[in-house]
Amino acid sequence: MQGSQVGQTAMSWNEGVIKEFRQNHGKVGGNFEGSPLLLIHHTGARTGKQRVNPLMYFKAGFRYLVFASKGGADRNPDWYYNLRAHPDVQIEVGDNLIDVHAEEVKGHERDRIYSQWATMYPQFGEYQRKTRRVIPVIALYPGKTD
């Protein structure tokens, strides 16, 4: 497949997951069946376009933690750069739309969280082994703004 076809296929796949998520109050089947899933609304860093991506998450207290794994690719996913440029976003969790502020978790806290996540979902340990980059962990804080 050529680059534009790969992008189109990923977009169609995301659209299907998003549709199923909304129809089933946050529950989906397939690769995400039984996994905690949210939809993140974000603004393109370069384009300014509104985007939505399904992401697995880990709830830690009041924070939602998401992982910029991109399946272990050598480059971070686009949504990661979008959150760096525009950290005040919204997430859908179940039927709820929540305003959040995104901040990257670093150092020992990042390592502890990622290790715990990879124990729960071993594919994320494999993603880290596939790449030289440190997969970012992003904390989403409800109602927090700078």
Where exactly are the structural domains of the chain?
Answer: 3-142
Helix residue ranges, H only, 24-144: 78-85, 107-120, 122-130
Residue 60 is encoded by which pair of tokens? Answer: 């830690």
| pLDDT value for 10 | 59
Query: What would the DSSP string read from start to end of 34-60?
Result: TS-EEEEEEE-TTT--EEEEEEEEEEE
pTM: 0.88
pLDDT tens for 4-48 read 344 446 557 789 999 999 999 999 998 888 899 999 999 999 999
CATH 2.30.110.10 correct for 3-142: yes
CA distance 130 to 116: 18
Kindly report the number of other CB atoms within 10 A of residue 84's CB atom: 15
User: What residues have CB less than 8 Å from 100, skipping those under 6 apart?
Assistant: 64, 88, 89, 90, 91, 140, 141, 142, 143, 144
| pLDDT value for 74 | 95
CA distances from 20 to 24, 51, 55, 88 (A): 6, 17, 14, 25
pLDDT tens for 47-87 read 999 999 999 999 999 999 999 999 999 999 999 999 999 99
